[in-house]
Structure 1
Amino acid sequence: MKRIIEKHPLAIRWFHWVNFPILAIMIWSGLLIYWANDAYSIRVFDQLIFKFFPQSFYKALHLKQRLAEGMAFHFVFMWIFFLNGFLYVLYTWISGEWRYLLPDKNSFKEAWAVLLHDLHLSKKPLPTQKKYNAAQKIAYSAIIVMGLGSILTGLAIYKPIQFQFICNVFGGYTSCRLIHFILTIGYCLFFLIHIIQVVVAGWNNFRGMVAGFEVVKEESEKD
Structure 2
Amino acid sequence: MKRIVHKHPLAIRWFHWINFPVLFVMIWSGLLIYWAYDPYKIQIGDYVLFSFFPDGFYKALGVPFRLAEGMAWHWVFMWLFILNGILYVGYTFMSGEWRHLVPDRNSFREAIQVTLYDFGLRKTQPPFVKYNGAQKIAYFTIILMGIGSVLTGFAIYKPVQIAWLTTLLGGYKAARLEHFVLTVGFVLFFFIHVAQVIRAGWHNFQSMVTGFEVVKPSDPERPVSQAPAPMPEPDPVSPSQPALS
Matched, 1:107 2:119: no
Structure 1 residue 59: Cα displacement: 4.3
**Aligned residue for 2:199?**
200
Match of 1:43 in 2: 43
Deviates more, 1:112-121 or 1:94-103: 112-121
Residues 63-92 of structure 1: CA deviation (Å, up to 9, x unaligned): 422100000000000000000001000000
State the Cα deviation string for residues 121-174 of structure 1 (Å, max 9, x = none): 210231x34311111100000000000000000001110111111111110000
The aligned counterpart of 2:242 is none
Q: Is the 8 A contact 1:100 1:130 kept in 2?
A: no
Amino acid at match of 2:204: N
* Counterparts in 2 of 1:87 and 1:44: CA distance versus 1, 3 Å: same
What is the aligned partner in structure 2 of residue 159 from structure 1? 158
Tell me how far 1:56 sits from its aligned partner.
3.3
Amino acid at match of 1:15: F
Counterpart residue number, 1:117: 117
Q: TM-score, normalised by structure 2?
A: 0.87
Structure with more of its chain in helix, by fraction? 1
**Runs of 5+ consecutive residues of structure 1 not aligned to the other structure:** none
Match of 1:43, as an amino acid?
Q
- Residue 218, structure 1, aligned to residue 217, structure 2: yes
Q: Note if contact 1:5-1:214 (Cα within 8 Å) is conserved in structure 2.
A: yes
Query: Which whole-Å deviations, capped at 9, do the CAs of 1:172-214 have from their partners, x for residues lacking one?
Result: 0000000000001000000000000101101111111000011
Q: Could you report, residue by residue, the CA deviation over 1:21-51 in whole angstroms, capped at 9, with x for unpaired residues? A: 0000000000000001111111112321110
Please show how residues 10-159 of structure 1 align to structure 2 within 5 Å: 10-61=10-61, 63-126=63-126, 128-159=127-158
When Rg is computed on C-alpha atoms for both structures, the one with the higher figure is 2
Q: Which has the higher contact order (CA 8 A, sep 6+)?
A: 1
- Report the CA distance between 1:216 and its aligned residue: 1.3
With over 3 angstroms needed to count, the CA separation of the structure-2 counterparts of 1:35 and 1:137, relative to structure 1, is: same
Report the aligned-residue RMSD.
1.4
* Aligned twin of 1:184: 183
Aligned residues: 221
Once residues 197 and 9 of structure 2 are traced to their aligned partners in structure 1, the CA distance between those partners, rounded to angstroms, is 18
Describe the superposition over 1:101-128 as per-residue Cα deviations: whole angstroms up to 9, x where unpaired. Answer: 11111111110110111112210231x3
Q: Distance in 2 between matches of 1:33 and 1:212?
A: 37
Over 3 Å counting, the alpha-carbon distance change for 1:89 and 1:63 in structure 2 is closer
Give the TM-score normalised by the residue count of structure 1. Answer: 0.95
Cα distance in 1 between the residues matched to 2:180 and 2:56: 21
Asked if residue 168 in structure 1 is aligned to residue 167 in structure 2, the reply is: yes
